[in-house]
Amino acid sequence: MIRLSRLADYAVVLMSHVAAAKTEVHNAVDIAAATGLPAPTVSKVLKALAHRGLLVSQRGARGGYALARGAHAITVADIVSAIDGPIALTHCLKSGAGACEVEQGCPSRSGLNRINTAIRSALEAVTLADVSTPMPALPSRAVAGPEMRAQP
């Protein structure tokens, strides 16, 4: 199964909250309360995102975190990479040439590289603005009664 790490998932949630909220600066305690995530984890993730240049931090009584650039200019790939490092399906794709002892004879290396490139491209195509926009409500489905069922 291919999945984001828990911290990368949290990072997307936190960045989405900051992007969608009306105020410019958000403190970690308020973000934790709004998202339902543990405050220590929120602080850790926000600090990492600021260190990677996706958020800016402001000190002081009204300090907190704000987006370093517009939500349209930050991709999901940026967020995931800030937390987990390079996007890679396998150790050899993450570490580069020479990282694997069976690299020369690996029959799946080019195929895995194509998959890795497709996943990275997909994450680069989705912006923070895309994921922070609420989804429209789904229409409720009517339950088919006896009069709506097809007759045999």
- pLDDT tens per residue across span 33-90: 999 999 999 999 999 999 999 999 988 878 899 999 999 999 999 999 999 988 877 6
- pLDDT tens per residue across span 4-26: 899 999 999 999 999 998 778 99
Burial (CB count within 10 angstroms: exposed 0-12, middle 13-18, buried 19+), residue 124? middle
Instruction: Indicate whether 101 belongs to any domain.
Output: yes
Instruction: Indicate whether 152 belongs to any domain.
Output: no
Instruction: Indicate whether 143 belongs to any domain.
Output: no
- For residue 70, give the nearest of 48, 54, 59 by alpha carbon: 54
Instruction: Indicate whether 31 belongs to any domain.
Output: yes
Domain membership of residue 102 as a residue range: 6-132
Instruction: Indicate whether 146 belongs to any domain.
Output: no
Q: How far apart are CA 75 and CA 25, in angstroms?
A: 20
Alpha helices in 52-127 (DSSP H): 76-84, 91-95, 109-125
Cβ contact 4:80 at 8 Å: yes
Q: What is the pLDDT of residue 103?
A: 57
Instruction: Indicate whether 95 belongs to any domain.
Output: yes
As for how many domains the chain has, the answer is: 1
Instruction: Indicate whether 98 belongs to any domain.
Output: yes
Q: Give the domain CATH number at 63.
A: 1.10.10.10
Predicted structure pTM score: 0.78
